[in-house]
Chains A and B, each alone.
Chain A
Amino acid sequence: MSDPILSIDALTIDLPAGADRPHAVEDVSFDLSKGEILCVVGESGSGKSMTANALMGLLPDGVTVGRGRAVFDGTDVLPLSEVRKQALRGARIGMIFQEPMTALNPLMRIGDQIAEVFAAHKLHSKSERRARALALVKEVGLPDPEKIIRAYPFQLSGGQRQRAMIAMALALEPEILIADEPTTALDVTTQAQILRLILALREKHGMAVMFITHDFGVVAEIADRVIVMRHGRIVEAGLAQQVLETPQHSYTRALLDAIPTGRVPDLQVITAAPALEIRNLNKIYRTGGGVFRPAREVRAVNDVTLTIAKGEVLGLVGESGSGKSTLGRAVVRLVTPDSGQVLVGGVDLAALDAKALRQQRHRVQMVFQDPYASLNPRHRILRSLSDGPIAKGVPKRQAHTRARELLDIVGLGADAATRFPHEFSGGQRQRIGIARALAMDPELIIADEAVSALDVSIQAQVLALLADLRRKMGLSILFITHDLRVAAQVCDRIAVMQYGRLVEVGPVREVFHAPQQPYTRELLAAVPGAGWAVAPEAVSA
C-alpha cells in the first residue's frame, strides 16, 4: 500500500438523465501501488469498468465525471484536456479489453497497429518502430513474430489477438495497465496462459495492473488486492487472501457462495435404462468448395458414442471448437448428423424424415445459451410456451393451463404468461426457457451453455432451479458447458470433448480427481483459482 502511483478519491460518475440510476459510480476511492495487481470485481452494472474508462477519458457519450479526483503521478488526470489525456493514454496508462475479436482494427496489420502507438506519441523512426513492434510481439509470446506483424487480426486466434493487444498496451512501458475483463471471452486454457503472461510482465516491468473481472477464480489466481463493487459503490476492499477467505461484506460472501465450488456431488444412483443412446455419431462440416477449389472439412463430431441414463445429468465439457455444441444440436436434430444413431425412447432421431421428426421432436428439448435470443420478441410468453404442445396435439386450453403452471414452477408466477420477453431480465428469461423445454414433457433436456451468459449470482439461482427440478421431476439432462466448476457442481458424469472426439467419460469424482487423459488434466489445471476452490474438498474426498 505504500507509494501509490494512482490515487482515486471520492470518484462519482454521472449517468445521463433517463438512465435507471443517477450514478454509474458513486464515491469510489482507492489507491494503486507500483507493481501491484488490483482486481476490481463485480457483476454487470456494478460500475467496475466505468472507473477505468473515466481514468482513460474513454467514458461513453452522456456519461460524465461528477466529482472526485484521480491523482496520477501528482496530477489529477480527470480534468485534463483531451490533448493531454491523449499524451497519457498508451504512453503512461495502457489498456486492454474484453473482446479481442473486435478490439483490433480488422483492416490493419498487427505490426502497424502496434507501431501506431509509437506514432501516436511521435516516438522513433519508422524502421525503429517496426523493430520494436517485432520485439514486443516476441515478448508477449506470439509464435513466428515476423509473420505475425504482417498478419491481419482475422488470421489470429482469440488468445493471439489478446497477446497482440497486450503488446500494444505495453509498447511504451506504461506505469499502469488497465485490463478490462481481458480473459472473459477466452477458453480456459488460453485464459490461464494470458494470466500467466500478465503476471510475468508485471514481474519484468514492475507496472501496476488494474484488473477488472467478474470471476473470483481469476482473482484468486492473480490478485494482490481486491475491490468488490456493487451498484457503483465499493462494498469491500482488502488483500486478496483476506477477501477470499474471510469476506466481511454479505454481498462478497453471497458472490463467493454463488461460485460453484468444485465440490463434487456424491454418486447418484443411476438406473440402467438409457434416456439417450448416441452410437457412432459423425458430423463433418464442409465449407467453401466450388469449381475451382476443394472443400475444407471440419470433423465437428467424430465417431461419438455416449449414453445418458434416465434421471442422469451428464456434463459435456470442452473448449470452443471441441464439437460439444454440435453434438448437442445433432442430438435434437437441429443439425443432421452424417452417420450414426441418436436413440431416444427407442426412436432413432437421426434417421427420421422431416415429417416424422416433427412428431418426435417433443422427446428432446433444449435450453439455450442466450437468454436474449432464445425467445421470440414478438410473441407473448404464453404463446412461446404453448405453441409446441399445441402443435403436438395438446388441446389449447390445457396447454395454456400447463404453461401457467410451469411459469409458477420456475418461479416467475403465472402472470408472466401475458407479458413479452423484453419485460424480463436475463435470468428470468432463462427460467422461461426452462419452462418452455418442460412444457413439451421431454424425455431428455439439452442445456447448451444454459448459464454461461449469466452473472454469477443469477447463475447460482438458475443452477439451483435446475437441480430442484431434476430432483422433483427426475429429468435427464445433457449439460453442455465450458465451465468445469459448473459441470462439477451439477453433473453426475462428465464427458470431455476435444476436436470432435470424446476424450474421457466418467463419474465427476473420477474425472476430476483422477483424470486419465493428459488433455483432461490440462483442462482441470487451467481452471483459474482451481487450487483454492477445489483442493480442500478434493482432498477430503
Chain B
Amino acid sequence: MSLLTTIFGRLIKAVLTLLAIAVLNFFLIHAAPGDPAAVIAGEAGAADPLFIAQLRERFGLDQPLYVQLWSYVKNVLTLDLGYSFRQGMPVYDLIADRLPATLLLTLSSFVISLSLGIAFGVAAAARVGKASDSILTTIALLFYATPLYWAALMAVLVFSVQLGWLPGFGYETVGSGYSGLQRTWDILQHLILPALTLGLFFMAVYMRMTRASMLEVSQMDFVKTARAKGLSGAVIRRRHILRNALLPVVTLAGLQAGQLIGGAVLTETVFAWPGIGRLMFESLEARDYNTILGVFLVSAAMVILFNILTDIVYRLVDPRIGAKS
C-alpha cells in the first residue's frame, strides 16, 4: 500500500471523525445551561425578553435543534465554521487570528520537550543505575508531578517579578513598534517562560519513555550483533539503539503534539497568551456555540494532522510499516 493511498484513506477517515466530533460537541454544548443570547443580553445589563428573542432569532437559535444541527453540518462541510455571536466576526477569522500564537507556543514547547526529553533520556539510559541517572530521573519525575499552572505561576513570580529577566505574560510588547528582527526577538522573549513551563512537563514524559525504551532496545539481539562487529559504544547507541528506541517515542509524541493544541488552556491563561485554548474557554463561558465548535474542530483536525504526520515519520524511519501488506 503506497503512502499516498494511506494518506488518502486516513483523510477520509479524518473527515468522518471530524463530522462525528462536530455532531457530538454540538449536542454537548447545546446541553449546557443558558445560551449565547442570554449571555449577550446579560452583558448588555438590561435586556427585556423582547431583546433576547430578537437575538435568538438573529442567531437562528429559535429553530428546532435538528435544523440548527443540519445547517451547522452543512456549513462545516463547505469549510465554513459559521459566525461568532459574541465577537461579531466569522469564526474562521477568529481562529486564524489566534492559531498562530497557539502554534508558536505549542510547537516550540513541543520541540523543547522532545529534544530535551530525548537527550536526557539517552543520557540517563547510558548511565543507568548511577547517581547521575537517579538525579535526572528524579528531576523528570518532579516536573511530571508538578501541577502545570502552579509551576507557571511560580515561574512568573521568580523570573518575571523577582528577577525581572523575562516578560511574564503576553505575546509581544504592545505598541512597541518593533518590526523584523527586533519583533522576533521580542516575541521570543515572551515565549520563553510559557514554552518552558509547558515544555518541561512533557519533557519529563519523553525523557522517561526514551530512557525506558533505550534500556529495552539495548537488550535486543541486534545490539549484540553490532558489538560483535567491533562498533564502539557511542556508535551503537546512536546508530542502533537510539533509532529503534525512538519509534515508541515518536508515536507518543505524535499523540501528544496534537493534544497540546487544545491542552494549552492553562498555560495560555496564566501567561495571557492570545491563543485558541483561551478562546475556547472564553467562548464556552459565553456559550458562543460556533466558536467553541470551531475551536474543537480545529484542534481535533490538528490531532489528526499530527497523527498522520507521525505515521509518515514512522514510515520514513521504519521500513517495515507500509511494506507489510
A interface residue numbers (CB < 8 A to B): 56-58, 82-83, 86-91, 94-95, 97, 99, 102-108, 116-117, 120-121, 152, 154-155, 165, 168-169, 287-288, 290-293, 296
CB distance from B152 to the nearest CB of A (A): 38
Supplied contacts A56-B228, A83-B232, A106-B222, 4 more A-B pairs, CB within 8 Å: A103-B224, A105-B222, A120-B232, A288-B325
Question: Please, how many angstroms separate the alpha-carbon atoms of A62 and B233 in the complex?
Answer: 18
CB distance from A389 to the nearest CB of B (A): 41
Q: Could you say which residues of chain B place their CB within 8 Å of the CB of A102? A: 220-222
Tell me which of B222, B229, B243 has the highest count of chain A C-beta atoms within 10 A of its own C-beta. Answer: B229
Does B320 have its Cβ within 8 Å of any Cβ on chain A? yes
Name the one of A97, A154, A292 contacting B320, with C-beta atoms under 8 angstroms. Answer: A154
- Contacts A291-B9, A293-B5; is A86 near B221 (CB within 8 Å)? no
Most chain A CB atoms below 10 A, which of B1, B222, B244, B320: B222
**Which residues from B are CB-within-8-Å of A57?**
227
- Give the residues in chain A near B227, CB-CB below 8 Å: 56-58, 89
Residues from chain B with Cβ under 8 Å of A104 in the complex: 222, 225
Within 8 A of A (CB), among B200-234: 220-222, 224-233
Chain A: which residue is nearest B222 at the CB level? A105
Total A-B pairs, Cβ < 8 A: 93
- What are 15 of the A-B contact pairs (CB < 8 Å)? A56-B228, A57-B227, A86-B231, A90-B228, A90-B229, A102-B221, A103-B225, A105-B225, A116-B231, A117-B230, A152-B319, A165-B225, A287-B325, A291-B9, A292-B5
Given contact pairs A155-B323, A292-B5, A105 touches B240 in the complex (Cβ within 8 A): yes
B residues 301-325 near A (Cβ < 8 Å) are: 317-320, 323, 325
Let me know if B5 and A86 touch, CB within 8 A.
no
Interface contact A99-B229, CB-CB below 8 Å: no
CA distance in complex: A89, B318 (Å): 28
CA distance A287 to B320 in the complex (A): 16
**Which one of B221, B230, B243, B319 has the greatest number of beta carbons of chain A within 10 Å?**
B230
Question: Is the CB–CB distance between A91 and B325 below 8 Å?
Answer: no
**Contact (A94, B228) CB under 8 Å given A152-B320, A292-B9:** yes
Q: Collect the chain A residues with CB atoms within 8 Å of residue B225's CB.
A: 97, 103-105, 165, 168
| A106 close to B230 (CB less than 8 A) | no
Q: Which A residues lie within 8 Å of B8 (CB)?
A: 292
The reply to whether B232 and A107 contact each other, CB–CB distance below 8 Å, is no
B233→A107 contact, CB < 8 A: no
| Contact between chains at A97 and B231 (CB < 8 Å) | no
List residues of chain A with CB within 8 A of the CB of B89.
Answer: none
Chain B residues with CB under 8 A of A99: 221
- The distance from the CB of A263 to the nearest CB of chain B, in whole angstroms, is 37
Across-interface contacts of B24 in A (CB, < 8 A): none
Nearest-neighbor residue (CB-CB) of A82 within chain B: B233
**With an 8 A cutoff between CB atoms, is B158 at the interface?**
no
**A56–B230 CA distance with the chains assembled, in angstroms:** 9
Does B235 interact with chain A (Cβ within 8 Å)? Answer: yes
B221 neighbours in A (Cβ, 8 Å): 97, 99, 102-103
Cβ-defined contact, B5 with A89, below 8 A = no
A70 smallest CB distance to B (angstroms): 16
**Most chain-A Cβ atoms within 10 A of its Cβ — which of B227, B228, B320, B323?**
B228
Do B228 and A106 have beta carbons less than 8 Å apart?
A: no
Docked Cα-Cα span, A58 to B226, in Å, equals: 11
- Give the residue name and chain of the B residue nearest to A56 (CB): B228
- Complex contact B230–A86 (CB within 8 A): yes
Chain B 162-200 residues near chain A, CB threshold 8 A:
none
Residue of B nearest to A288 (CB): B325
In the bound complex, residues from chain A placing their C-beta under 8 Å from that of B9 are 290-292
Q: How far is the CA of A28 from the CA of B148 in the complex (A)?
A: 60
List chain A residues, Cβ under 8 A from B318. 106-107
B226 to A, closest residue via Cβ = A105
In B1-35, which residues have CB < 8 Å from any A CB?
1, 5, 8-9
Interchain CB contact under 8 A, A103 and B230: no
Evaluate contact between B232 and A89: CB separation under 8 angstroms: no
CA separation between A408 and B230, bound complex, in Å? 53
- Residue ID in chain A nearest B319 by CB atoms: A152
Closest residue on chain A to residue B1 by CB atoms: A293
Cβ–Cβ < 8 Å partners of B230 in chain A = 86-91, 117, 120-121
A107 touches B231 (CB 8 A): no
Contacting pair A89 B229 (CB below 8 A)? yes
Q: Provide the residues of chain A in CB contact with B320, threshold 8 Å.
A: 106, 152, 154
B21, chain A: closest CB distance, angstroms: 22
CA distance A480 to B284 in the complex (A): 66
List of A residues within 8 angstroms of B5 by Cβ: 292-293
A87 to B230 alpha-carbon distance, docked (Å): 6
Q: B8's closest neighbor in chain A, by CB?
A: A292
Cα–Cα, bound, A155→B323 (Å): 9
Q: Report yes or no: A103 in contact with B222, Cβ–Cβ below 8 A.
A: yes
Q: Could you tell me if A107 and B244 are in contact, using CB atoms closer than 8 angstroms?
A: yes
Whether A86 contacts B232 in the complex (CB less than 8 A), given A103-B221, A104-B225, comes out as: yes
Assess the B325–A107 pair: CB atoms within 8 A: no
- Give B225's nearest chain A residue, CB to CB: A103
Q: How far is the CA of A168 from the CA of B232 in the complex (A)?
A: 16
B233 partner residues in chain A, CB cutoff 8 A = 82
Q: Please state if B325 and A296 are interface contacts (CB–CB under 8 Å).
A: yes
Shortest C-beta distance, B248 to chain A (Å), equals 13
A107/B228 in contact, CB under 8 A: no
Q: Which residues of B contact A95 (CB under 8 A)?
A: 228
Q: Which residues of B lie under 8 Å from residue A155 when comparing CB positions?
A: 323
Assembly CA distance A111 to B147 (angstroms) = 49
Which of chain B's residues have a CB closer than 8 A to the CB of A291?
9
Bound: A105/B221 CA distance, A: 9
Give CA–CA (A108, B231) in the complex, Å: 15
Chain B residues contacting A82 (CB-CB under 8 Å) are: 233
Q: Are B244 and A106 closer than 8 Å at their CB atoms?
A: yes
Within the assembled complex, what's the spacing in Å between the Cα atoms of A336 and B217?
A: 37
Inter-subunit contact B229/A168 (CB<8 Å)? yes
B231 — which chain A residues lie within 8 A by C-beta? 86, 90, 116, 120
Q: List chain B residues, Cβ under 8 A from A106.
A: 222, 244, 318-320
In the bound complex, residues from chain B placing their C-beta under 8 Å from that of A117 are 229-230
A95 CA to B225 CA in the complex, in Å?
A: 8
Q: Tell me whether A107 and B224 are in contact (CB under 8 A).
A: no
Chain A residue numbers with a CB within 8 Å of B228 are 56, 58, 89-90, 94-95, 97, 169
> Which of the listed residues A91, A107, A121, A290 has the most CB atoms from chain B within 10 Å of its own CB?
A107
B229 contacts which chain A residues (CB < 8 A)?
A: 89-90, 116-117, 120, 168
Q: Looking at the assembled complex, report how far the CB atom of A186 sits from the nearest CB atom of chain B, in whole angstroms.
A: 15
Of all chain A residues, which has the CB nearest B217? A105
Q: Which 3 A-B pairs have the closest CB atoms?
A: A90-B230, A288-B325, A89-B230
Residue of A nearest to B5 (CB): A292
CA distance A290 to B5 in the complex (A): 11
Among A57, A104, A108, A121, max chain B CB count under 10 A is at A108
The distance in angstroms between the C-alpha atoms of A90 and B224, with both chains bound, is 12
Closest chain A CB from B239 CB (angstroms): 8
